[in-house]
Amino acid sequence: MAQVQEFEKALSNSDASVAAFDEHGTSIVKRIQHFLHSTPAAVPLIVLVLSIAVFGITIGGRFFSSYTLTLILQQIAIVGILGAAQTLVILTAGIDLSIGVIMVISAVIMGNCAVTYGLPTLLAVVIGLGAGAACGLLNGLLVAYMKLPPFIVTLGTWNIVMATNFIYSANETIRDADVDVQAPLLHLFGLNFKVGTAVLTFGVIAMVVLVMILWYVLNHTAWGRHVYAVGDDPEAAKLSGIQTKKVLISVYT
């Protein structure tokens, strides 16, 4: 009993303060590295800010004019829409190399259905989107059920879809004049309008709306939380009751 009391007495006299790491000796470079590792989203933001600063200094005030900025938005509209879709795949710790060629073959199918086959434009759009969704569904099934690496799956799909596109289109293009006459709705995203001195296209509006919708879905819906959970730890997500296979198929589709 005396030994127990002596132990408690020694423990009560010990220093109960929490050990603190000495950060004063840490160099600025180490602190920056720690910040970048702990906040990955800061890296592209820093690159963007530096790029804007460099171009602003090089070109001058013209770079920050509304016309120039909206012109940049017009040029990145397609890439931005594809990037928004790619973001969902990346959040599940995957990658989709075939997203570009899937977009191309979807556009080719829309054009052929509307111009060559004479189908109604809306039906042609639905068929084209359906073809693209089918390609994405194939990727999702192979990744989710066959447990194949997304890089290998989408690389193979990229080659298959590209070859299919060459065979289907016979390396022929559809003239813009024919599209304007028979299916002008296909050029909807390319139409522009002015807001003051700024020139915007409906494609830019679609990109902004899509990004806002995805932001809301990822941050305020159960499906969005499931996407993050699958990307963080698929086994833990599965044990918690999340249907990981359905989530993977949905993001690739």
Q: What is the pLDDT of residues 92-133, one digit of tens each?
A: 999 999 999 999 999 999 999 999 999 999 999 999 999 999
Look up the pTM and report it. 0.79
Helix segments in the chain, DSSP class H: 2-12, 28-38, 42-59, 66-91, 99-111, 121-144, 150-169, 176-182, 202-220, 222-232, 234-239, 244-252
* pLDDT for res 253: 92
* pLDDT for res 149: 95
Question: What is the pLDDT confidence band of residue 14, given thresholds at 50, 70 and 90?
Answer: low
18, pLDDT greater than 60: no
Helix segments in 92-185, DSSP class H: 99-111, 121-144, 150-169, 176-182
- In the chain the first and final C-alpha atoms are separated, in Å, by 70
Q: Residues 168-186: pLDDT tens digits?
A: 998 888 888 888 889 999 9
Angle at 85 between CA 84 and CA 89, to 5 degrees: 115
Q: Residues 203-242: pLDDT tens digits?
A: 999 999 999 999 999 999 999 999 999 999 999 999 999 9
Structure tokens at 2: 């005396």
153, pLDDT greater than 70: yes
Beta carbons of 84 and 214 less than 8 angstroms apart: yes
Map out the domains of the chain as residue ranges.
Answer: 96-182
Question: What is the pLDDT confidence band of residue 10, given thresholds at 50, 70 and 90?
Answer: low
* pLDDT for res 172: 84
Average pLDDT for residues 13-23, to the nearest whole number? 53
* pLDDT for res 40: 75
Q: Phi first, then psi: what are they for 15, rounded to 5°?
A: -75, 120
Structure tokens at 125: 């759009």
